[in-house]
Structure 1
Amino acid sequence: MQYSPHLNYLIDAFREQRPIRAGSLIITIYGDAIAPRGGTVWLGSLIHLLEPLGLSQRLVRTSVFRLSKESWLLPEQIGRRSYYSLTASGRRRFEKAFKRVYVPVYPDWDGTWCLAVLSQLSAEQRRTVREELEWMGFGALAPTVLAHPRCDRSEVMATLQELDALDHTLLFETKRQDPLASKALRQQACECWNLQQLSDSYRNFLNRFRPVWQELKDKSQLDPQECFIARTLMIHEYRKVLLRDPLLPEELLPVDWEGRSARQLCRNLYRLIYAAAEQHLSQILETAEGPLPEPSPAFYKRFGGLN
């Protein structure tokens, strides 16, 4: 099938990646498309869904098998067919990974900071805790001191508990203060979180998907398969950038922060094509009971509302 010119370019670019990280793309599809519709599909229909993106049957089977070994997916054999569902831990990990993608706005910052001091941890445990906290959006003020201007303290404590590091990590919360950031604080934020590199990633995202938006918004009729591919590639790329974004308050960001435009583009394109993409999912994917169930009510709350 011939798609819009720039979408064809993105498909070709994805196919030419070496190695093709099929497992990561399957995670995107489960989180974006399958989880809201029951979370279970027949493997054969998933293989069919991924064919236009250049993923071979063997590659999909191998990738799904690895995801099951990593406790993301749970296999079930019914007759000669294999069905893969999200595990309970997999669903929690999906929700944690994807909840920031679809939120419409972020809460205002009140000027408080959460500080985590890791000096009482062993060197090996400190590396593990630091990596996890940085994934959650913390930045390093010093080798053993991490900071976050807007985090869920209970989530941080639960993470430290899971890593068996809670009793050896010092957590402090500063007093509420004027959230207007000084020049020095903004400069410090740029260094701690490498905002220039992140801004470059957002700019690359905009350069790749803005032409897709221009192509599709002017069409009188949207093709379901084309919309599914555009939505999948967009969310896949946006998720990869967003998971490196600490989502700092506006007060700490540069005036020309590209993340704002990237989020607006993602929201606008998603709202334009989601319905047609859902038609394609309904046509291709199957469960043991037959067609996919309808999306959950929470699905329609993405990006501030899809209806």
Structure 2
Amino acid sequence: MNEVAGQFSADWEPALTEAPRAPAFIVTLYGDVVEPRGGMLWMGTLIECCAVHGLNESLVRTAVSRLVGAGRLEGVRIGRRSYYRLSDAARDEFRDAARLLFSPVPAPDDWLLCLSDGLREADLPGAWARLSPNVAIAPNREDVAPLDGILMRAKHLDGHGDLRSLSRERWALDDVATAYESFVKRHSGLLERIDGGAHLSAAESLALRLRLVHDYRHAALIDPRLPRAAWPQDWPAERARKLFVAAYVGLSDRADAYVGAEFVNNDGMLMARNEETDRRLFQLKREAAA
């Protein structure tokens, strides 16, 4: 893997010219590559993979130490080698993120309202937003947890009030749009390279897929995924989603082959593919064909 470190230039691929933050990128690496293949990775492999993205060994070791301190990674020493896996709490969080990336819940049609005096001092979780001190609203999706209080289901009546302005204000949708637009700008050249038959090595394919996941994950995690009627004009979420799906599928054969050839865990090598990685790809291919 060392021979590919630092070979990506601005002329080759804009997505790889700016180094990511080490802790966040390590989280991406575990979510995309390591967790679906058992969860354990040798520190040496982690260092080599991060070097391709401009993260030196010192940065990686510091980031891993902080992730361990935060209870997100756990270390295992076997002989002279150190291996790291996700903690149980982080594993549950990763599963939720994986569902968002690989099998997202469709956009809802209506809303949830919660009425409770207890909302006055509460920090609202997830996609919930405050309408008044004792009223909160959220998109009515199966993955949105209800709040304690009187819960109602509501539907917006067309022609009554400016729902788009309300949603932009309450959920800071301008920030979400900026994240999606940045993702599209950074990765828009990928499909042309893939569809045009550009030669991408297995190492390059994995590097590009990791940055694709890293940038899309950032945007998708801050997206409240509201009903379509609340989307601002020219909402970029669908363009970003189509780019993510097509590029991930197009890069995965070679990227996964590289994982199977180069990534080391406590049992030897990570598998190139398994039931979980095949399931992810199947879901994305089905989405692309819909």
* TM-score, normalised relative to structure 1: 0.81
Percent of residue pairs bearing the same amino acid type? 27
Residues 205-224 of structure 1 aligned to structure 2 (within 5 Å): 205-224=183-202
User: 1-side partners of 2:48 and 2:150: how far apart?
Assistant: 49
The answer as to whether partners of 1:112 and 1:174 remain within 8 angstroms in 2 is: yes
Residues 30-179 of structure 1 aligned to structure 2 (within 5 Å): 30-103=30-103, 106=106, 108-109=108-109, 111-115=110-114, 117=116, 119-120=117-118, 123=121, 126=122, 129-130=123-124, 133=125, 136-152=126-142, 156=145, 169-174=148-153, 177=155
The answer as to whether partners of 1:181 and 1:252 remain within 8 angstroms in 2 is: no
Q: Displaced runs of 4+ in structure 1, greater than 4 A?
A: 1-7, 177-183
1:238 aligns with 2:228: no
Q: Give ranges in structure 2 of 5+ residues lacking alignment.
A: none
Structure number with greater CO (CA < 8 Å, separation at least 6) is: 1
State the one-letter code of the partner of 1:35.
Answer: E
Moved more, 186-195 or 264-273: 186-195
Which residue of 152, 157, 176 maps to 1:198?
A: 176
1:201 counterpart SS class: helix
Q: CA deviation at 1:62?
A: 1.7
User: 2-side partners of 1:189 and 1:216: how far apart?
Assistant: 36
Write the deviation string for residues 216-267 of structure 1: whole angstroms up to 9, x where unpaired.
3313543111111111111111111111100112222134211110000111
User: 2-side partners of 1:181 and 1:104: how far apart?
Assistant: 29
Corresponding residue of 2:17: 12
Q: Give ranges in structure 1 of 5+ residues lacking alignment.
A: 15-19, 161-168
Residues 279-290 of structure 1 aligned to structure 2 (within 5 Å): 279-290=257-268
Change (3 A) 1:40 1:7: farther
Change (3 A) 1:253 1:82: same
Write the deviation string for residues 170-205 of structure 1: whole angstroms up to 9, x where unpaired.
241225x47767552233222211223322221121
* TM-score, normalised relative to structure 2: 0.85
Cα RMSD, aligned residues only? 2.6
* Matched positions, count: 280
Write the deviation string for residues 128-153 of structure 1: whole angstroms up to 9, x where unpaired.
x32xx1xx212222355321022347
